[in-house]
Amino acid sequence: MEEAQRRALRRGRARLVAALRVAPLWEPLEQRGLFTRPMVEELQSAGSRGDQARQLVIDLETRGKRAFPLFLSILRDTGQGDLADMLMEECGHLPTPPQLGDLRPVELDLRGEKHRKSVSFPEHLSVPVQAESERPQVPPTPAQGSAVDQRNCNLVYELKSDPCGCCLILNNINFSQDSDLSTRAGSDVDCKKLEKRFKALSFDVLTLQDLPAQEMVLELQKLARQDHSALDCCVVVILSHGCQTPAGNVDQPDAVASLPTPSDILVSYSTFPGFVSWREASSGSWYVETLDSVLEQYAHSEDLLNMLLRVANAVSAKGRYKQIPGCFNFLRKKFFFRCK
């Protein structure tokens, strides 16, 4: 996209966010090759109509040199010619007629990425940096009907069973003396929050505490062997240290990032591999505190991935220490919890 066209979109963004009718745009945007179906679905899940319009205008700048004239054409076809005229005036010259063959998705060069076979997840008790625990600052709830239709089974997992699944919580607070691992003060606070939250989300919750590593493995194997055919999903929560205390100058990892049998699975971590996850004795970990709050506010209306983005954004803004949660995702559809 030409720089003049980018400037036109930026100058006109406020009016577009205020007036753009996005609903009639999705089909022609996909049909004419401007966005793929997954891209359109991502835009539709951005929040309110204004949020969707804002993200659409931002993403247009990445769609190639014919994106601007194509977008103007679609605006006119959907009865929004006044906005197209506004953008043309902002651009200052007549755009080149669209040629569909010139549109190409933006490709990221990941050839330089190195994949590590194992990583460690350090966790330390944080130095108090706030007078009291603060609730995460998160954006307002999106307007009703703005998210992907939850009734569409092609896009959304259907949760029909009651309970919807099992939730196993492994809560490790105390460790053997020869491990040199400190007591995880505040972990019981996290555990109680998660027990209450997943029971409210229609899960059967089982909590086990301070199990040796071998017994943790046995409990996970026991859970895997159970008959889950009448249930919709399964949740496993591990509250523990991410790695052993350094011996000399070497970190000895006790957690390895590995996938189980490929399936519909999402794994969320409290911090980026190799970085610190902060926890306070009185309020628990930043991650669980924020996750619980976001689930309370948004589980009735938003899908899991969108809520995890809210968690990452809120945790990253806490205190003067940096922490950003993340996940790897192998889900094929949007996952909405069923709230009682």
HEC string of 10-50?
HHCHHHHHHHCCCHHHHHHHHHCCCCCHHHHHHHHCCCCHH
pLDDT of residue 39: 87
Question: Is pLDDT at 336 greater than 60 in this prediction?
Answer: yes
Sign of CA dihedral 64, 69, 70, 72: positive
Q: How many CA atoms lie within 13 A of 82 on its CB side?
A: 5
pLDDT of residue 168: 97
Protein fold of 123-132+144-329: Rossmann fold (3.40.50)
In order of 82, 116, 216, 282, the CA distances from 210 in angstroms are 65, 29, 9, 20
- Give CA–CA dist 164/234, Å, rounded: 8
Does 274 or 195 have the greater pLDDT score? 195
Q: What is the pTM of this model?
A: 0.54
| Model confidence pLDDT, tens digit, residues 261-292 | 557 899 999 988 777 788 888 999 999 999 99
| Model confidence pLDDT, tens digit, residues 61-106 | 888 878 888 888 899 888 988 898 888 888 774 444 444 343 344 4
- Give CA–CA dist 294/306, Å, rounded: 10
- Give CA–CA dist 279/161, Å, rounded: 35
Question: Is pLDDT at 211 greater than 90 in this prediction?
Answer: yes
The distance from CA 75 to its chain's CA centroid, rounded to whole angstroms, is: 31
| Model confidence pLDDT, tens digit, residues 293-323 | 999 999 998 999 999 999 999 999 887 677 8
Question: Is pLDDT at 131 greater than 80 in this prediction?
Answer: no
pLDDT of residue 261: 52
Paired tokens of 13: 């963004």
Residue 304 identity (one-letter amino acid): L
pLDDT of residue 238: 94
Residue 289 identity (one-letter amino acid): E
In order of 34, 83, 291, the CA distances from 62 in angstroms are 10, 20, 32
SS3 79: coil
| Mean pLDDT computed over 172-180 | 86
Tell me which of 35-44, 132-141, 190-199, 326-335 is least confident: 132-141
SS3 216: helix
Average pLDDT, the chain: 78
| Model confidence pLDDT, tens digit, residues 212-244 | 989 999 999 999 899 998 999 999 999 998 754
Residue 237 identity (one-letter amino acid): V
The distance from CA 244 to its chain's CA centroid, rounded to whole angstroms, is: 28
| Mean pLDDT computed over 175-196 | 90
pLDDT of residue 263: 75
Q: Domain 3-100 sits in which CATH superfamily?
A: Death Domain, Fas (1.10.533.10)
The residue written with tokens 């669980």 in the block is 288
Task: Sketch the domain layout of the chain as residue ranges.
Answer: 3-100, 123-132+144-329
In terms of phi and psi (left: phi > 0; alpha: psi -120 to 50; beta: otherwise), the region of 202 is left
Question: Is pLDDT at 109 greater than 80 in this prediction?
Answer: no
- Give CA–CA dist 30/28, Å, rounded: 5
- Give CA–CA dist 286/195, Å, rounded: 17
* Helix 3-11 / helix 81-91 crossing angle, nearest 10 deg: 130
What are the phi and psi torsion angles at 236 (to 5°)? -125, 125
